[in-house]
Amino acid sequence: MININYAYFLAVSIGLLISFLVTPLVIKISHYFNILDKPNSADRKIHKNPVPLLGGWAIFLAIFISVFIFKLFNLADFSGVGANFILAVFIGGLLIMIGGTLDDKYNLKPWQQIIWPLLAATVVLLVGIKITYITNPIGGPTNAIVYLTPILGTLVSFIWLMGLMYTTKLLDGLDGLVTGITSVAAFMIFILSLSWDVYMSATSVWALVLFGASIGFLVFNFYPAKIFLGEGGSIFMGFMLGVLSIISGSKIATTLLVIGIPALDVLIVIIRRFLRGESPFSHADRKHLHFQLLDVGFGQREAVLLLYLIAITFGLLGILSNSLGKLFSLGVLVVFMCLIILVIYGKSTQKNKS
């Protein structure tokens, strides 16, 4: 094995380089097979020209080629993450990308779309990638950790993985939004993996590879985007964050803080649709926070950068806080989300009156 700091540098560099080099090829493939996001009369579409999909393949390939290189040349200690874990994540990711590609090409029905993330979550759970304990934020030194029964741990892990996958899926509405938020979350997971109580070389490397691959793709995905993640790519991002947050020592709270505003936004939209008797995932609309920011006058760049800043801020709070501090930060995040909604509602009402 090489010096760990050099391994970290290589993880970012290899992931970034592969993603950066593969993305133009994916753009050509998308055009060749006519797998494009074509603007139409749908209210959610805000781009004016057809944009290639399938961008998630560039990130998928960058991650697993990088991990293969690290394993092949023994560049880092992967003893904490066995080959069966890596294979399961690869298979799960591949299933998501295949399903997403089919959806991008043939516009699958909602029940057909959900099969692929369900299979992906099942694969990783079967090899033991699951939450086995949670930290009690108000517990003392003897009961700070609460261990979960195997059934409960599996159930919580399944909900966590599916929740993250559908958060990033529904969040993918502005150029570079999901890619940037994922890069922030991946870097925060990397920082957490360095702490003395959860140190894992493999997790650190994997998180940095995801960070590098996201940055390499963001060059093409930021506004004005030359390529979109596509259905598979947006779900795959949530899948990777879910898996990494589990194997890094169940650092769920910090990951939740990073994606907290988007996650709350998705939850509100789902509840709103449910109360109206609509399927939560049957259609896209402009009720999401990022679209409402556009409606009150933000440009795409400004809206995305604002959401990046919020993710970074709450991610840092998660890193710098103890368990009780994280709980407090989550409370602050909920209040902050409510304030944002009130401000946007006030501005949109004022705009409609004028």
Evaluate whether 208 touches 15 at the Cβ level (below 8 Å).
Answer: yes
pLDDT reported for residue 320: 75
pLDDT reported for residue 196: 52
Share of residues in the chain with pLDDT > 90 (%): 51
Closest by alpha carbon to 341, among 276, 271, 256?
271
pLDDT reported for residue 142: 47
Rounded to whole angstroms, the Cα distance separating 171 from 169 reads: 6
Work out the average pLDDT over 248-277: 75
3-state helix, strand, coil in the chain (%, to 5): 70, 5, 25
Classified as helix, coil or strand, 133 is strand
This prediction has a pTM of 0.90
The contacts of residue 114 (CB under 8 Å, 6+ apart) are 281
Rounded to whole angstroms, the Cα distance separating 31 from 25 reads: 10
Q: Which of 49-58, 127-136, 212-221 has the lowest mean pLDDT?
A: 127-136
Q: Which of 9-18, 184-193, 235-244 has the lowest mean pLDDT?
A: 184-193
Rounded to whole angstroms, the Cα distance separating 314 from 302 reads: 18
The contacts of residue 256 (CB under 8 Å, 6+ apart) are 263, 330
Cβ–Cβ contacts within 10 Å for residue 54, how many?
27
Rounded to whole angstroms, the Cα distance separating 188 from 207 reads: 9
For the chain, the average pLDDT equals 85
Q: What is the pLDDT of residues 21-46, one digit of tens each?
A: 999 999 999 999 999 998 875 555 67
- Hey, what are 137's tokens? 């934020």
Give yes or no for residue 17 having a pLDDT over 70.
Answer: yes
pLDDT reported for residue 90: 98
Share of residues in the chain with pLDDT > 70 (%): 83
Q: Which of 71-85, 104-118, 126-140, 321-335 has the lowest mean pLDDT?
A: 321-335
Evaluate whether 239 touches 166 at the Cβ level (below 8 Å).
Answer: no
Cβ–Cβ contacts within 10 Å for residue 16, how many?
23
- Hey, what are 118's tokens? 């369900």
